[in-house]
């Protein structure tokens, strides 16, 4: 009887111990699950915080990129404007240089023209002197000396672009001739042509500086 009671007591103790162990495992399981759940919440919070920080960084970078693009566009516009201003300035300077060079050439040409125009009456006097000497009985040395000086003067003027306007057998042309008189002729082929020259005409580098004064056959 005593042995039977002892066995029942031991069995109850084992059942109680097993129940306690199950209860302890259940509590421990609940605590572990709570910790896991708590840990998962912290990770999610950290991830959200990291995502928010990354989003802010991206927004900041996008804003910075937009500012840099705007500055770059302004620099490009300024560069294009500066380039256009430079091209225009160079064009204006080139025009100014050409205009100044042309003005200098015109000034030199005008000065030369005025000087040579002033020499033409002297040249006329030389021609008359040479013709007059040819019709006199003066010494040959005087004639040769005068002709030598005349030829030197003519040669110098030719080197500067002076040319005598040809009149012999030419039709009357108002671009080169100035009619001072008319002379009637019988020959039809001579009408409208130069009959005589009263004063020689000259061109300087292709430009008429003195019209030839002529008599026109009619």
Query: For the chain, what are the domain ranges?
Result: 162-218
Can you tell me the distance from the alpha carbon of 200 to that of 4, in angstroms, rounded to the nearest whole number? 173
Can you give the pLDDT at residue 129? 87
Q: Identify the band that residue 151 occupies on the pLDDT scale cut at 50, 70 and 90.
A: very high
Q: What is the DSSP string of the chain?
A: -HHHHHHHHHHHHHHHHHHHHHHHHHHHHHHHHHHHHHHHHHHHHHHHHHHHHHHHHHHHHHHHHHHHHHHHHHHHHHHHHHHHHHHHHHHHHHHHHHHHHHHHHHHHHHHHHHHHHHHHHHHHHHHHHHHHHHTS---HHHHHHHHHHHHHHHHHHHHTTEEEPP-TTPBP-TTTEEEEEEE--S-GGGTTBEEEEEE--EEETTEEEEPEEEEEE-
The CATH class of the 162-218 domain is mainly beta
The first and second tokens of residue 152, run together, are 């030197």
Q: Is the pLDDT of residue 10 over 60?
A: no
Q: Is the pLDDT of residue 38 over 60?
A: no
Taking only the tens place, the pLDDT of each residue in 153-164 is 999 999 989 999
The first and second tokens of residue 56, run together, are 């802010």
Query: In this structure, what is the dihedral angle of CA atoms 172, 177, 183, 188, given to the nearest 10 degrees?
Result: -10
pTM reported for the whole predicted model: 0.54
Q: Are the C-beta atoms of residues 215 and 194 closer than 8 Å to each other?
A: yes
Q: Is the pLDDT of residue 4 over 50?
A: no
Can you give the pLDDT at residue 99? 87
Q: Is the pLDDT of residue 2 over 50?
A: no
């Amino acid at each position: 009887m005593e042995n039977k009671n002892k066995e029942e007591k031991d069995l109850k103790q084992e059942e109680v111990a097993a129940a306690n162990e199950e209860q302890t495992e259940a509590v421990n399981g609940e605590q572990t699950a709570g910790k896991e759940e708590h840990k998962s919440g912290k990770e999610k919070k950290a991830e959200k915080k990291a995502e928010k920080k990354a989003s802010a960084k991206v927004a900041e970078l996008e804003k910075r990129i937009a500012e840099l693009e705007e500055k770059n566009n302004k620099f490009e516009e300024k560069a294009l404007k500066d380039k256009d201003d430079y091209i225009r300035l160079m064009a204006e300077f080139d025009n100014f240089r050409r205009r100044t060079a042309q003005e200098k050439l015109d000034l030199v040409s005008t000065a030369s023209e005025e000087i040579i125009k002033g020499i033409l009456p002297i040249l006329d006097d030389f021609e008359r002197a040479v013709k007059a000497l040819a019709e006199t009985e003066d010494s040959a040395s005087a004639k040769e000396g005068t002709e030598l000086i005349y030829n030197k003067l003519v040669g110098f003027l030719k080197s500067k672009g002076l040319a005598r306007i040809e009149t012999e057998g030419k039709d009357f042309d108002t671009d080169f001739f100035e009619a001072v008189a008319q002379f009637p002729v019988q020959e039809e082929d001579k009408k409208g042509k130069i009959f005589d020259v009263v004063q020689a005409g000259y061109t300087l580098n292709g430009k008429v500086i003195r019209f030839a004064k002529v008599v026109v056959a009619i």
